[in-house]
């Protein structure tokens, strides 16, 4: 994809979060996209840049209202980002006064809707075929041959979901980093650890590929809803406590829907000094 030159006089952006899952939002509607791996990595640095779990760049839609590209803080591309999608949907609905939006991502065409004060996004049907998740070879998707007996689910990103008895006892950083790059996952994986409290409520912590521990993960939350229902541990409609708050999931015949809080933090401009260092 052809990108436009990084502007030397500064680049406007927004900072938003959904349940503590934080994002930088770039708006490239009406022009070519600007984000590159180098820019994402520089802006994602929480000490020398802005810091984010993912960066989302808004582009003009061709057969949808808008399109979105996602980047991780290490400069790699993310396939999906449910909470960032909800944040951008909130922006677009605020601009247009409409209560639904179609968004094209590398995951496909997603739909977001406003119901009361809540913005729901449909992240689509889960991917349950080992080759499409993807995994490196044919295995039982519901019982991966790894310590802890995780479930593999594709939701635009690959996910490995571990059900545990005591989530407070899990070393999320150590185990997440190890599983992320296990040879079973040729594109690496997000890693979720889940304690089931009841058929309608779970507690989840997450390690995101290319980022690390985050306070929430939308595609990961959807993967957990699918994995719990597949294992017979939860209903298809659940509430989920994450490090950053609460999410609500509903796995329907249309796909996996998710909602939760959305917050606009600030608007600012990336400085010429930061951008100039990328040249």
CA atoms of 124 and 156, how far apart (whole Å): 9
CA atoms of 195 and 162, how far apart (whole Å): 9
Chain-centre distance for alpha carbon 115: 21
Q: Is the peptide bond prior to 134 cis by the omega test (within 30 degrees of 0)? A: yes
Among the listed residues 35, 81, 87, 222, the single catalytic one is 81
Residue indicated by tokens 């049907």: 125
CA atoms of 25 and 54, how far apart (whole Å): 9
CA atoms of 34 and 57, how far apart (whole Å): 8
Q: Which residues pair with 253 in a beta bridge?
A: none
CA atoms of 267 and 277, how far apart (whole Å): 22
Catalytic, 217? Answer yes
| Residue 177: φ, ψ to 5° | -65, -40
Catalytic, 35? Answer no
Angle at 260 between CA 255 and CA 261, to 5 degrees: 150
- Three-class SS state of 123: coil
Among the listed residues 35, 87, 217, 222, the single catalytic one is 217
Instruction: Quote the DSSP letter at residue 89.
Output: H
CA atoms of 152 and 160, how far apart (whole Å): 5
- Active-site residues, by number, are 81, 217
């Amino acid at each position: 994809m052809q990108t436009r030159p990084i502007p030397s006089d500064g680049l406007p952006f927004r900072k938003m979060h959904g349940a503590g899952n934080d994002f930088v939002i770039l708006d490239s509607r009406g022009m070519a996209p600007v984000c590159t791996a180098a820019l994402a990595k520089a802006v994602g640095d929480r000490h020398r840049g802005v810091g984010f779990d993912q960066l989302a760049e808004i582009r003009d839609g061709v057969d949808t209202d808008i399109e979105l590209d996602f980047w991780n803080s290490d400069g790699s591309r993310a396939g999906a980002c449910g909470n960032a999608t909800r944040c951008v949907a909130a922006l677009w609905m605020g601009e247009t006064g409409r209560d639904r939006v179609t968004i094209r991502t590398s995951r496909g065409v997603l739909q977001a809707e406003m119901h009361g004060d809540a913005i729901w996004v449909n992240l689509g049907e889960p991917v349950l075929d080992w080759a499409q998740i993807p995994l490196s070879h044919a295995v039982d998707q519901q019982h991966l041959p790894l310590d802890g007996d995780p479930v593999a689910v594709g939701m635009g990103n690959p996910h490995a979901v571990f059900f545990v008895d005591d989530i407070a006892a899990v070393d999320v950083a150590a185990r997440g980093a190890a599983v992320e790059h296990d040879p079973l996952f040729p594109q690496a994986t997000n890693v979720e650890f889940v304690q089931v409290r009841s058929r309608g409520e779970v507690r989840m912590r997450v390690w995101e590929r290319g980022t690390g521990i985050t306070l929430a993960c939308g595609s990961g939350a959807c993967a957990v809803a699918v994995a719990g229902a597949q294992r017979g541990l939860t209903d298809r409609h659940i509430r989920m406590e994450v490090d950053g708050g609460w999410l609500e999931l509903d796995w329907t015949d249309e796909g996996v829907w998710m909602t939760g809080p959305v917050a606009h933090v600030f608007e600012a401009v990336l400085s010429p000094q930061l951008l100039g260092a990328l040249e």
